[in-house]
Structure 1
Amino acid sequence: MRGARRITHHSRVYRWRFRPSGIESSLSIVRDEGGASRLVIRMPTFLDPWLHFPVLGMNVPEVMTPAFVARALGAAEARGWCPDSRDGDFVLVFTGSHFQLPVEFQELEALMVFLKREEGAPQCIDVIHRLDLMNIAWRQAKAALEDGNQVLALWWAEKGIRVAEKDPVCMGPGMNMRVWFIREYGHQDDHPVLDTRVLVNRFFEDLPWSPKEAVQAAQSAKERQEQNLPPVQESNVVQRHIWMALRRLKRIKGHLPSNEWDKLQPWFDVYRDLSAPLSASCSSGRQ
């Protein structure tokens, strides 16, 4: 930049290219002779910085808001974008005595790389790693909500749900995230997060019992428990699935379209009969 002191240190530099033009941009944390730290982001002036900002090679324009960048780097102040007449780049300079390493950029990279790979084939990773990736998205969604950015919050939520729902063990937390946002913003047809029909269809997938049969199974389980008999494991798994799915659906009852409500009404009618004997066995495994 014009008038800037000589740069003596680069702690980290990220570079990416705009596709399909191949134009390179970069992000770096620098320290000059006086010891002042600055974050410098360079990109071509003919692009709108906030609308066309790929992150680490991924085209994710919704993510790169000023609040995200400032929070990611612990920046004290954002002076804003300004053209650098020397080389024709946009330069964004954050001033402050100290910058944290951009952990949020690294988390974003890990999440997006994982999703890109999983588009080709399911990734074999352990449950803890998958849940960690989902939690990255959840943290970012909550931060976006705190910034008042609903679009960005839902964008992150969709990424977290995609990670979780690819694994049966992690499916519950993913559906819980979906329920949370539906309660916050309501139902929206064909929305990747807010469509309540996804939860309804998931409930009816491979459902082996009618409401009456589910009540009978719950009563049988209660009787076996009272007689100190071992539970029927397969039956208990199905009962737990039904109870937890209905519990989620009851939390969004007010947002269900009328036709979905009609399909679920017979199950809501027997929910109390199911929850009483099952609540104890489900409480230890709630997601």
Structure 2
Amino acid sequence: MNRTELKKIIRGVSMAVPTPFDSQYKLDLAVAADLTQFWVDNGLGTDKSMIKLCSAWGQGPDISDDEWPHLVRTVVNAGGTGVNVMCGLKSKDTMRTIEDAKIAQDMGANSLQIELPYNHAPNQDQYVKHFTMISDAIDIGIMIYNTYWFGVSPIEPETMARLKDAEHVAAIKWNYPTEDGFDRMKEFSDEFNVIDNSGNSVRSRKNGGAGMVSAFGPAYPKHDIKVWDLLESGKYEEAESLKNSFTEAMGPALAKISSNSGGYRAARGMMELIGHPVGPPRLPTEPLTSQEVNELEVGMKKLGWLD
């Protein structure tokens, strides 16, 4: 596929789904298949809602290199023809990232989320070389993840312009250390799809943004899909109001959970509350306490996500 074709699928809601584990912390592929059916039935996996596997919120750092290809293949098969599946890749050197990208492609993913190679402290020239080499080696799409907070320079707007000839680089998951730098996305948002990772999806959309991320949406995908539909229609106040309804209902519980053994446990607890448990997180992260689950339940009921 070329960039024009890839931009049609790397857009809308990038939904980071949790990875299911059994009681012994082993990958549970049977549950992964069942969950995929649930997510597809609720609007995920389309050209405006990617099922994103193996991201940080999907426990990607906890999954071994022997495990994740089986997860991708399982979800692709369970989703059926045309399902839109993105695979997150861990930050590695260029050659190993190319190897992983080819595996994900062979397993059926149609796009990749690729972090900056932050362990190598790269400069802007090396970013261009890294992502161009990966692009040249595969046929599926790349969404660059601008993970500058791991102690490296962000990928700069002018660097994105230099990636114009890297045909399979179709999008960037965008945040930036400064507000004026964030708004410079307008310099490249006509060439690459910009997926907002700042939490300010209205501002991003006004700057030409083509999508947004979601970490808690897997329990109720229709909420964030509706937010995106409103943004795409230019109904910014309605979109902001719907986003704020989630923050008001869930914010207190999520803040407590995030301060105690990590925030991604919350998404797992929410899946359990809707009747689609994904098992415990892998250690050292601990499962939610009963009190934390109860607080999540209160918030989800306020939103109308539970009976």
**Same fold flag (TM > 0.5):** no
- The normalised TM-score by structure 2 is 0.24
If asked which structure has higher relative contact order (CA below 8 Å, sep 6+), I would say: 2
Q: Which has the larger radius of gyration?
A: 1
